[in-house]
Amino acid sequence: MTMKHVNTSVNGEAVEFLCEPHETLLDVLRNRLSLTGTKEGCGSGDCGACSVTVNGRLVCSCLVLGVEADGKEIATIEGVEDHGHLNVIQEKFLEHAALQCGICTPGFIVATRALLAENPDPTEEEARYFLAGNLCRCTGYDKIIRAVMDAAETIRGGA
Amino acid sequence: MAVVDYLSPTSVADAVKCLAGSPHPAKVLAGGTDLIIQSKGKYDSPLIVVDVKKIGSMVSAELTDDALILGPSMPCAELTAREDIKSVFPGLVEAAFLIGSTQVQGRASVGGNLCNASPAGDTIPALIANAAQCVIAGPNGERTVPVESFVTGVGKNCMTQGELLVSIRIPRPAAGSSDAYLRFIPRTEMDIAVAGAGVAVTLDSTGKCTAARVAIGAVAPTALLVPEAAAALVGSTVDDASLAAAAAAATAASNPITDRRGTAEYRRHVVGVLVKRAAAIAAQRARSVK
Ligand code: FES
Ligand code: FES
């Protein structure tokens, strides 16, 4: 198998890597770039734990080939923090206890960021539908939605 | 299928060369939401993937005075954000919107849904209702196939090795036309259709239906065009009696299987209900676009 040489940007930094053609972006992030914040829940596009954005668009990194990252801008959970501090969405997840085991959390936070970039004032129903591709087996979703709605309100208030 | 090479041609001609001249079976990579899953963890036979998303016309859409020229690999998220397309083909856009989660929408495409040829593919009945034409490029030039003949069986389409679906051409409907797509799933979101129905109608200034196309999905090995259901609507004002006749025609045309998502009997009934409701919505929309 020929290795592929890929030039990309991850969280605003230029990154170069070699990968095999069958490796997914999720494999590359975790195994080649040591960015293990992005999680694998299912590997088949069903759980959203592997959510990242590619050129600003929310996708499952388990359904993107690593080579497809060439020339693109990738954003992962590692880039969410705000100058060494938790960002508002992360803080609200803590405040509302919107996580238990935590494996779904990076995906939820990346997806919430994408939701609020597109729709800063979502209704609860809009938030629930947007996040329907992120599964959580622990919290029962209620606390997650409360955290998302509170984060949206806080960001709108400029706090 | 183990992915052993990745090619990313930048023109249709090069893509056809990659597909036709490949030493191993080659498959087109659009959004990958079916292909990457199908290739995972299986190392029995080598597979070459040909990523067509670097070809501009594959991932863009143009709405002209005559037609919508849809790049087959345009992500559903981009399509559903196009208000100009939604205003002309609301049913097609709602079908595209039903595919998967937000994340899947970011990658999945109408062309991928069509080529993957699942009996339950949501966009296929909507494309059939809108009389879409599939433009296919291959080593011997281009050919055009009506969408209802494109899918030939479960997971099978009419293309041969070396061919590529290069655009989906949907004629702009006459004045007073609209469409709708409905599916039934046991949940509210993210599921596979138990049955689906796409309907397009044209109404004249008196509200009488002058043309209709009805297509049903998930109730036969392929989505079906049901001319008998359309005939029940044409000439009527899309009233209760004609809707009931269209529903009965759809039920009669269906040939479903029983699986864990529903029994054949249930699907036959539900597909009629969906045709009735989708036709009523399409007619309502047609009345308001005039
Ligand atoms: S790991 Fe990608 S969706 Fe579950
Ligand atoms: S906190 Fe455990 S899966 Fe969500």
Boundary-marking domain end, from A79, A101, A129: A79
A75 and A104 fall within a common domain: no
A61 and A128 fall within a common domain: no
d(C-alpha B247, C-alpha B21), whole Å:
47
CATH architecture assigned to B4-51: 2-Layer Sandwich (3.30)
Boundary-marking domain end, from A79, A111, A142: A79
Contact B149, B168 (CB under 8 A): no
pLDDT at A145: 98
A68 and A94 fall within a common domain: no
d(C-alpha B214, C-alpha B224), whole Å:
8
A51 and A17 fall within a common domain: yes
Contact B195, B218 (CB under 8 A): yes
A73 and A95 fall within a common domain: no
A120 and A139 fall within a common domain: yes
Please tell me the distance between residue B11's alpha carbon and the centre of ligand 1 in angstroms.
32
Please tell me the distance between residue A133's alpha carbon and the centre of ligand 1 in angstroms.
9
- How far from chain centre, in Å, is Cα B117? 9
Class of B177-288 in CATH: alpha beta
Which residue intervals of chain B are DSSP H helices?
A: 12-20, 35-39, 76-80, 83-88, 90-97, 102-105, 110-116, 123-129, 147-150, 227-233, 240-253, 264-289
Boundary-marking domain end, from A56, A79, A102: A79
Tell me where in chain B the CATH 3.30.43 domain(s) lie. 4-51
Instruction: Say yes or no to pLDDT of A1 above 70.
Output: no
A44 and A92 fall within a common domain: no
Number of domains comprising chain A: 2
pLDDT in tens, A32-76: 999 999 999 999 999 999 999 999 999 999 999 999 999 999 999
Contact B125, B214 (CB under 8 A): no
pLDDT at B78: 97
CATH number of the domain where residue A115 is located: 1.10.150.120
Ligand 1 contacts (CB < 6 A) are A 40-43, 45-50, 60, 62
A74 and A8 fall within a common domain: yes
Q: How many CA atoms lie within 13 A of B214 on its CB side?
A: 31
Minimal CA separation from B77 to chain A, in Å = 9
pTM for this entry? 0.95
The alpha carbon dihedral of B261, A50, A97, A112 has a sign of negative
d(C-alpha B189, C-alpha B198), whole Å:
18
A21–B103 C-beta distance less than 8 A: no
What fold characterizes domain B60-171? Answer: 3.30.465
* Domain boundaries, position A124: 88-156
B103–A65 C-beta distance less than 8 A: no
Please tell me the distance between residue A24's alpha carbon and the centre of ligand 1 in angstroms.
11
Q: Determine the residue among A65, A72, A76, A116 to mutate to test chain B binding: the one whose Cβ has the most chain B Cβ atoms within 10 Å.
A: A65
DSSP code string of B228-247: HHHHHHTTS-S-HHHHHHHH
A110 and A150 fall within a common domain: yes
d(C-alpha B241, C-alpha B233), whole Å:
9
Interface of A with B (CB under 8 A): 1-2, 4, 21-22, 24, 43-45, 48, 51, 54, 57-60, 62-65, 67-68, 111, 114-115, 129-134
Regions in chain B scoring below 50 on pLDDT: none
CATH number of the domain where residue A33 is located: 3.10.20.30
B190–A21 C-beta distance less than 8 A: no
pLDDT in tens, B168-222: 999 999 999 999 999 999 887 788 899 999 999 999 999 999 999 999 999 999 9
Please tell me the distance between residue A92's alpha carbon and the centre of ligand 2 in angstroms.
16
d(C-alpha B18, C-alpha B9), whole Å:
8
In this prediction, residues A135-149 reach a mean pLDDT of: 97
A12 and A61 fall within a common domain: yes
d(C-alpha B42, C-alpha A17), whole Å:
24
Minimum CA distance residue for ligand 1 atom 3: A45
Instruction: Say yes or no to pLDDT of A159 above 60.
Output: no
